[in-house]
């Protein structure tokens, strides 16, 4: 076991999240329950990590009643201090999601600059988009071929159907696609330099400043990435995901199909994702900006299971699990800093 308490807690938190996912997928498996009981009783650190994982919106207590006895043995963890919570005003619908970084002076000019950075990208996106969603808004669209697209908050896309091709340009955000089969008319989703091609399947695509991610729930897809310096082609089947960062580096993962686009059920499940990318997703449910005090924090990998029904509490849980402090600066800005 590592002597670094911070690393040990992060490892335990990662394991707790994996257990939560397994128990959500198969809560009645007696062997799984025995293995979980052995893990959670093996170390006080496991107790603490399990509580922190389920503390978000009472997730463990509500969704896995058979483990209430384990939950009840834990104390209540203290929450990071937050300044007065004045009401937040809504941002414009369709704002592109970006986690704003950098520590500015807490003055009117700095606040105005932060808000300008948040809202400015909307103009170019509006001009290109056929459909957009705003803060905490999801929307399902039925396309002319019978396929459906479910858009997460902060998503914008454009549609271009021709006799030979069905094309979606995902300009920002996340979308889940349930595609009608037509081998003679491929369905393609473009997200930056990444093209995802299918004939009929269910999959999700997310695009942000950090990476493009594709995850398959059913069937298979082909992804093709072409940039000035890198070319990548991969075939993904159900239960697989791929993330391609700005440099063209590919991270392939095996996931539970039930976790694909879990935001449709107000859940956010992340495994080894950059902190900045996770906050990007949470910010789409908040009316203001989330800022990282230290830009280098954005690449820190985190694992967690968060409820999107209370996004500010989810940000608080991220801070709690990763030894960060959460500050409120004006009603519209949350800042995460290292403790």
pLDDT tens per residue across span 138-157: 999 999 999 999 999 999 99
How many angstroms separate the CA atoms of 262 and 265, rounded?
6
Give the lowest-confidence range in 90-94, 198-202, 248-252, 294-298: 90-94
What token pair was written down for 214?
């594709």
Give the lowest-confidence range in 80-94, 113-127, 217-231: 80-94
Look at residue 36 in the predicted model and tell me its pLDDT. 84
**Confidence band for 320, pLDDT divided at 50, 70 and 90:** confident
Look at residue 173 in the predicted model and tell me its pLDDT. 94
Query: For residue 123, is pLDDT > 60?
Result: no
Give the lowest-confidence range in 54-63, 236-245, 300-309: 54-63
Query: For residue 78, is pLDDT > 50?
Result: no
The domain made up of 100-338 has a fold known as Jelly Rolls (2.60.120)
- DSSP characters over 224-272: EEE-SS-EEEEEEETTEEEEEETT--EEEEE--GGGTTGGGGTEEEEEE
Dihedrals phi, psi of 163, to nearest 5 degrees? -60, -25
- Spatial neighbors of 35 by CB under 8 A, at least 6 apart, are none
Strands 166-178 and 148-151: what pairing? antiparallel
Look at residue 169 in the predicted model and tell me its pLDDT. 97
Query: For residue 125, is pLDDT > 90?
Result: no
Number of H helices, E strands in the chain: 9, 19
- Spatial neighbors of 27 by CB under 8 A, at least 6 apart, are 64, 66
**Confidence band for 116, pLDDT divided at 50, 70 and 90:** very low
How many angstroms separate the CA atoms of 281 and 260, rounded?
14
CB–CB of 61/75 below 8 Å?
Answer: no
Look at residue 76 in the predicted model and tell me its pLDDT. 33
Q: Where in the chain is the domain with CATH 2.60.120.1440?
A: 100-338
**Confidence band for 103, pLDDT divided at 50, 70 and 90:** very low
CB–CB of 99/117 below 8 Å?
Answer: no
Average pLDDT score over residue span 158-180: 96
CB–CB of 245/210 below 8 Å?
Answer: yes
């Amino acid at each position: 076991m590592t002597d670094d308490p911070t690393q040990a807690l992060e490892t335990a938190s990662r394991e707790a999240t994996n257990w939560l996912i397994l128990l959500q997928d198969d809560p009645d498996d007696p062997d799984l329950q025995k293995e979980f009981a052995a893990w959670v009783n093996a170390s006080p650190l496991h107790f603490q990590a399990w509580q922190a994982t389920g503390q978000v919106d009472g997730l463990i207590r509500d969704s896995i009643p058979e483990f209430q006895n384990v939950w009840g043995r834990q104390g209540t963890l203290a929450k990071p201090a937050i300044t007065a919570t004045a009401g937040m005003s809504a941002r414009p619908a369709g704002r592109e999601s970006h986690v704003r970084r950098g520590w500015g002076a807490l003055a009117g000019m700095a606040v105005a600059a932060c808000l300008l950075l948040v809202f400015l990208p909307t103009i170019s996106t509006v001009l290109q988009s056929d459909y957009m969603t705003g803060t905490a808004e999801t929307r399902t669209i039925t396309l002319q071929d019978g396929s459906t697209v479910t858009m997460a908050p902060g998503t914008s896309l454009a549609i271009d159907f021709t006799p030979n091709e069905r094309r979606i340009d995902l300009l920002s955000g996340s979308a889940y696609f349930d595609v009608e089969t037509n081998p003679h008319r491929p369905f393609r989703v473009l997200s930056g330099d990444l093209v995802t091609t299918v004939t009929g399947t269910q999959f999700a695509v997310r695009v942000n400043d950090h990476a493009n991610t594709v995850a398959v729930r059913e069937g298979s897809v082909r992804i093709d990435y072409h940039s000035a310096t890198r070319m990548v082609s991969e075939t993904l089947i159900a239960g697989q995901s791929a993330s391609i960062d700005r440099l063209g580096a590919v991270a392939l993962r095996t996931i539970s199909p039930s976790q694909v686009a879990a935001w449709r059920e107000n859940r956010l499940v992340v495994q080894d994702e950059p902190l900045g990318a996770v906050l990007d997703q949470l910010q789409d449910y908040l009316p203001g900006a989330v800022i990282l005090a230290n830009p280098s924090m954005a690449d820190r990998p985190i694992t967690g299971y968060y409820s999107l029904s209370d996004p500010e509490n989810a940000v608080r849980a991220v801070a709690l699990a990763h030894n960060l402090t959460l500050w409120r600066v004006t009603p519209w800005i949350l800042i995460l800093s290292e403790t």
